[in-house]
Amino acid sequence: MTPSDMQPGRTPAQLVRTEAAALLALAERLEGPMQAAFERAVETVIACGRDRGRVVVTGMGKSGLIAQKIAATLSSTGTPALFLHPAEAVHGDLGMIARGDVVLALSASGETEEILRLLATLKRMGDALLSFCCNLNSTLAGASDVALDVSVPGEACDLGLAPTASTTAMLALGDALAIAVSMRKGFRAEDFAELHPGGKLGKRLARVHELMHAGEALPRVTPATPMKDVIYEMSRKGLGMTTVVEDGRLAGILSDGDLRRLLEHEGAACLDKTAAEVMNPRPQIIAPGELAARALHRMEERKITSLVVVDDAGVLQGVLHLHDLWETELF
């Protein structure tokens, strides 16, 4: 048979629609007959976390690849998780499972030999067994405390053999489980930032204290400092402003704009004043633990280029300048 004699398969668009249909069917089950089972799975994972247990995700072949991604998503959203290769498990990796852990097993058929071989041990060692299966009458589903249905109308593969739509449904259900658990636990952007310190994402979720000017780089004068010395401090530190500090606490700030307006109104006579006489006693402040994204929003909202960083007691910690945010790629 030559290539020209072969019947054309479905178009790429039709293949994608097949997988989309599988996701729509999954969504309908989550809103209907599978809603209670999914809720039990969420509660099981949350209870496991309260007891300092982990979610051990396992699967063989293509399901194993999806299991690795689900474990990574759980971990990155505040639920400690790890991947257990079922074939390696019988050669010592079962030691990864501890009392109190929840096992999540992925198998389209529910009859994956490598997983069934582990069932008795998994049930004995783990706190609970959850599963994603296309066949709820399978051995794995029957042994599970909660079995979730990932059946699909058909695979995208023309032969109906290659795991495609079924693995897509597994991935989507794993994402739904991870996010539902994180939302129920009150997982915040600040928590996400703590777990993603590197790369572009880490930069975007940086905290104020990581970027602010502090120590010797922080411009500061006292309320009694003469204006000539105030100007010198502002020029020396190069932030276009200076803080005014008394006994470690923030008393006010002076900016380039304040100086220009002062010169326009009073001319050279302004140089005879002290910092306390011309400072802004109510500057915009931010806490050191705030996200850089919130600092940028406040600067844009107030049309200012810097924020003074103080702790809950009003003690000066640093200054965050607009230029410090460029490297976070927030713009």
Phi, psi of 242 (to 5 degrees): -145, 150
**CA–CA gap between residue 57 and residue 51 (Å, rounded):** 18
DSSP string across 47-72: HHHHTT--EEEEE-THHHHHHHHHHH
**Tokens standing for residue 46:** 């949350």
**CA–CA gap between residue 262 and residue 269 (Å, rounded):** 9
pTM: 0.66
DSSP state of 217: G
**CA–CA gap between residue 256 and residue 238 (Å, rounded):** 11
* CB-based contact 280:253 (threshold 8 Å): yes
According to the annotation, is 91 in a ligand binding site? Answer: no
Of 279, 218, 232, the closest CA to residue 253 belongs to 279
pLDDT digits (tens, 9 = 90+) for 87-98: 998 777 888 888
Domains within the chain, CATH numbers bracketed: 3-187 (3.40.50.10490), 208-328 (3.10.580.10)
* pLDDT per residue of the chain (331 residues) written in tens, 0 to 9: 344 443 457 788 988 999 999 999 999 999 999 999 999 999 999 998 787 889 999 999 999 999 999 999 999 888 999 999 999 987 778 888 888 899 999 999 999 999 999 998 887 776 799 999 999 999 999 999 999 999 998 888 877 778 899 999 999 999 999 999 999 988 766 666 666 555 556 666 788 998 899 999 999 999 999 999 999 999 999 899 999 999 999 999 999 888 888 888 888 888 888 999 989 999 999 999 988 888 888 898 888 889 999 999 989 999 999 888 876 665 5
**CA–CA gap between residue 285 and residue 10 (Å, rounded):** 60
Helix axes 165-184, 35-50, angle to 10 degrees: 50
pLDDT at 327: 64
Is the dihedral angle over the CA atoms 270, 276, 281, 287 positive or is it negative? positive
pLDDT at 5: 43
Query: Any alpha helices (H) in 90-135, and if so which ranges?
Result: 113-116, 119-125
